[in-house]
Amino acid sequence: MSESNAEVFIVDSIETLEQRIAQVRDAQRIFAAYSQEQVDKIFTAAALAANKARIPLAKQAVSETGMGIVEDKVIKNHYASEYIYNAYRNTKTCGVIEENPSYGTRLVAEPIGVVAAVIPTTNPTSTAIFKTLLCLKTRNGIIISPHPRAKQSTIAAAKIVLDAAVAAGAPKGIIGWIDVPSLEMTNTLMRESDIILATGGPGMVKAAYSSGKPALGVGAGNTPAIIDGSADITLAVSSIIHSKTFDNGMICASEQSVIVDSSVYSQVKDEFTARGCYFLNDEETEKVRKTIIINGSLNAKIVGQPACRIAALAGVTVPESTKIIIGEVTSVDISEEFAHEKLSPVLAMYKADDFSDAVAKAEQLIADGGYGHTSSLYINTATEKEKIAIFQEAMKTCRILINTPSSQGGIGDLYNFNLSPSLTLGCGSWGGNSVSENVGVKHLLNIKTVAERRENMLWFRAPQKVYFKKGCLPVALNELKNVLGKKRVFIVTDQFLYKNGYTKCVTDKLDELGIVHTTFYDVAPDPTLACAQEGAKEIRLFEPDCIIAIGGGSAMDAAKIMWVLYEHPEADFMDMAMRFMDIRKRIYTFPKMGEKAYFIAVPTSSGTGSEVTPFAVITDQDSGIKYPLADYELLPNMAIVDVDMMMDQPKGLTSASGIDALTHALEAYASIMATDYTDGLALKAMKNIFEYLPSAYENGANDAKAREQMATASTMAGMAFANAFLGVCHSMAHKLGAFHHLPHGVANALLITEVMRFNAAEVPVKMGTFSQYAYPHCLDRYLECANFLGIHGDTKESQFENFIQAIEELKEKIGIKKTIKDYGVDEKYFLDTLDDMVEQAFDDQCTGANPRYPLMSEIKEMYLKVYYGK
């Protein structure tokens, strides 16, 4: 026993094991507080001590187990100490190991606790060194369960590492072991540990996985090595011999079969013979077959034995210096004994008709018992890239080695320096493992991610050019020729505007500029897909380099859709209309617009703001489904806001579109995505509307200033909601309009004050989810609007009530009725359709930006209040 253990006793029973586990657990608690500096000092000291003991430990392992070769085990011990140390000497494993101040994240490494380590007979000392060093580097405690056949050497290795670690300052008893192993104790250890590093037979690995604790196990290997016709045969044969004879073939990644292309078969055979390997004749093959495998299981007597001794066991005489005995066999089925894993210098050799036959054979050998482990290929890497691609595609192995001795190659850092050094090789789910790579320190750490709250990046996007002022239209259109060099213009408008000469000012200007044009004027309100398709057909024939939409929301939306169909006839509206939570993270990538035509929007009403928004709504005339499209690709390139185009709006339109603009501003201001950029636009839009909408409504063209201020308000509100988006008032208005044919502006007007009361609640059932939205503050936001509008009150509540009252008064002044019922919506039909309307409103794209996340029952309640007016 080690003097450095806190208590000296032998672990030979469940009771003493429990004591040891408790002791290691105590030590680990202390160790968990060590700094990186302390840990690295211990890691160095332990690695040095293990390295120094490499020869005595190798001798002890061979003499105890009767398997393997001392000189090769020296290499394994050397590797387990030096290479593992070198790989992780600078790796941070304690505390903060990574920090990203911009994103506000830190990775903090913590030990897992007590590691149960199952150690095999084939590599007892090197695996013990490997696992104890990994645990020391990661501040874990470890208890080793050795195989009874190799217990003394395993324990000796662990003790050397422990003594050196404790001398360098590690807590006493940080490494423990079972002195007299039994299956019951191993199972107890695995159950009571925090994680299991199981390197051993399938029984042990399965026991580990069924212990209920996280386990890192390994799987069976049955490495096939293909020698392609293009391979360097001398290199291939010597590499395989070098690997297969290493420690008498006991490395799990070692080659078990060689599959040789028929074109080089005899050369390969000659080379193997010349390098000291022995080919068995038929009779000898049969004898060896029955010796190495008994009833499908590997004969323990041959494991790690030299070739001549195995031959002798089979009753075959071979020269004592024989390196490998090779059976030339044909079947890759598991019923062929040579197709098994042999853990000894016995090799199967197959002749393949061609490369695909070789790959098929290798696949079967992997399926026979090597899923997830290692496969190997000897080939000309310069000329045979396609074959390598086929091979790497076909092999269900986690390590695919090219021109490399697989024993030394699989463990990493010897023949490839980007493959992690390890003596525990994960085999992925194919091998029943949780990891598919070489096990290292990262697998023995719990990494905590500290994530500070960060706010989303936001944006402000608007058309590249927004031209405004009374009479600006012809001036702006000059650009078509002078700046943009456009030659063919396609105009989209509605029948009313066309017949009443609203497009004439545009067409006259185009004629003056010498630009060819045509006009599509068949857009109806709530434009349909059929209408857009009709227009698109004409666009395709006309092949314009510019589209000008003239009209209200309908004409502009229809023109945007025609634009999409013109630029991307293959586009799918279902995909485009798919709801998203965050426009930047949506699944659908909107196609690039503007490659064929420049898009100009000229509004003729003051309300929709469509000339500056990335939205368009189109209705499928067959299903009645509305497709709301939203993407910044849909932003017009130029908006021309000329009040001359709006002077003669009828009263109803002035009222509905004016109040629509007010709801745009109010919802954009209350939105969880509102920013200072959009706030300014929204506030000024609101102020214009409160001041000028009544006069615009009453006096129409007689009050040009009111008209102009309303035009500005509409476009500014459009820019605000193009970036801050809207809210549940619009969600509900969309469905109210669709189900009961109320004009969009009227529907919004009816709902807005009820929605404001809903949003202003200081204790909402649920608030909206957005990093910037810190707490329910919508009441304060509304009061900011009231302040800007000069609406005051003695208390917050009275000020809010006054604001609501002002909106109600505004509505009244412009002829908006009080309730949905007042607009003649049948009560029974309203109630019958209410649940559908509620669900659809809840799922509307606008709901996501609302500051209060609405329950469907709450939407229903609002609809009912607005229907009855109470």
Q: How many CB atoms lie within 10 A of CB 739?
A: 18
* Residue 288 and residue 310 in contact, taking contact as beta carbons nearer than 8 Å: yes
Residue 272 burial (CB < 10 Å; 0-12/13-18/19+)?
buried
- CA 846, 851, 854, 859 torsion: positive or negative? negative
**Which residue carries 């037979």 as its tokens?**
201
C-alpha to C-alpha distances, 842 to 577, 730, 839, nearest whole angstrom: 16, 11, 5
Residue of 94, 135, 252, 846 marked catalytic: 252
Smallest gap from Cβ 285 to other proteins, in A, equals 20
- For the bound state, the minimum distance from the C-beta of residue 11 to other proteins, rounded and expressed in Å, comes to 16
Q: Are strands 638-641 and 626-630 parallel, antiparallel or unpaired?
A: unpaired
Whether 488 contacts 453, CB under 8 Å:
no
> Which residue number, 300 or 701, has a Cβ lying nearer to other proteins?
300
Of the pair 148, 591, the CB lying nearest other proteins is at 148
Half-sphere exposure of 414 (CA within 13 A, CB side): 24
Q: Is 382 helix (H, G, I), strand (E, B) or coil?
A: coil
- Smallest gap from Cβ 190 to other proteins, in A, equals 11
Q: Which pair of tokens denotes residue 157?
A: 């290795």
In the complex, what is the shortest distance from the CB of residue 313 to other proteins, in angstroms, rounded to a whole number? 11
Please write down the HEC assignment for all residues of 759-786: HHCCCCCCECCCCCCCCCCHHHHHHHHH
CB atoms inside a 10 Å sphere around CB 644: 19
Q: CA-CA distance, 410 to 223, in Å (whole number)?
A: 10
Whether 252 is catalytic: yes
DSSP 3-state of 215? strand
d(CA 149, CA 151): 6
Q: CA 679 → CA 280, 457, 657, 783, 788, distances in Å?
A: 88, 17, 21, 13, 11
Provide, rounded to whole angstroms, the least separation between the CB of residue 244 and other proteins.
16
The neighbour count for residue 650, using CB atoms within 10 Å, is 11
Question: Per the structure block, which two tokens stand in for 268?
Answer: 């390969």
How far is 181 from 563, CA to CA, in rounded Å? 78
Binding interface with other proteins (CB under 8 A): 120-123, 147-149, 181-183, 186-187, 199-207, 220-221, 250, 252, 294-301, 303, 334-335, 341, 343, 369
Long-range residue pairs from 285-291, CB within 8 A, at least 24 positions apart, any chain: 285/327, 285/328, 285/329, 285/338, 287/314, 287/315, 287/316, 288/314, 288/316, 288/325, 288/327, 288/346, 289/327, 289/336, 289/337, 289/338, 290/314, 290/337
Indicate the residue among 202 and 276 with the shorter CB distance to other proteins: 202
185 vs 358 by CB, closer to other proteins: 185
CA-nearest of 182, 184, 176, 183 to 154 is: 176
| Least Cβ distance, residue 200 to other proteins (angstroms) | 6
What CA–CA distance (Å, rounded) separates 503 from 630?
Answer: 27
Residue 344 one-letter amino acid: S
Distance CA 67, CA 60 (A): 11
Of 174 and 252, the one with the shorter C-beta distance to other proteins is 252
Q: In this structure, which amino acid lies at residue 690?
A: F
Q: How far is the CB of 335 from other proteins (least distance, A)?
A: 7
AA letter at 793:
G
Shortest distance in whole angstroms from residue 207 CB to other proteins: 5
CB nearer to other proteins: pick between 313 and 390: 313
| Min separation Cβ 360 and other proteins, Å | 20
Measured from the CB atom, the residue of 168 and 225 that comes closer to other proteins is 225
β-pair type (626-630, 615-619) = antiparallel
In the beta sheet, which residues pair with residue 257? 224, 348
How far lies 580's CA from each of 465, 561, 773, 846, in Å? 28, 19, 19, 10
CA dihedral 360, 361, 363, 369 (to 10 degrees): 160
Q: Is the Cβ of residue 48 or residue 298 nearer to other proteins in the bound state?
A: 298
What's the angle, vertex CA 28, arms to CA 25 and CA 30, rounded to 5? Answer: 120
Please give the Cα distance from 433 to 664 (Å, whole number). 57
**Shortest CB 298 distance to other proteins, Å:** 5
Q: Distance between CA atoms of 28 and 22, rounded to whole angstroms?
A: 10
- By C-beta, is 303 or 347 nearer to other proteins? 303
Amino acid letter for position 157: A
Nearer to other proteins, 373 or 707 (CB): 373
Q: Which residue has the tokens 């020729």?
A: 481
Strand pairing class (346-352; 516-523): unpaired
State the minimum distance, in angstroms, from the CB of residue 181 to other proteins. Answer: 7
Nearer to other proteins, 183 or 701 (CB): 183
> Based on CB atoms, which residue is closest to other proteins, 287 or 487?
287
Could you tell me the smallest distance in angstroms from the CB atom of residue 65 to other proteins?
9
Nearer to other proteins, 76 or 149 (CB): 149
Tokens of 202: 């399938």
Question: Rg of the chain's alpha carbons, rounded to an integer?
Answer: 40
Q: What is the nearest approach in angstroms of other proteins to the Cβ of residue 624?
A: 54
Q: Which residues are catalytic?
A: 252
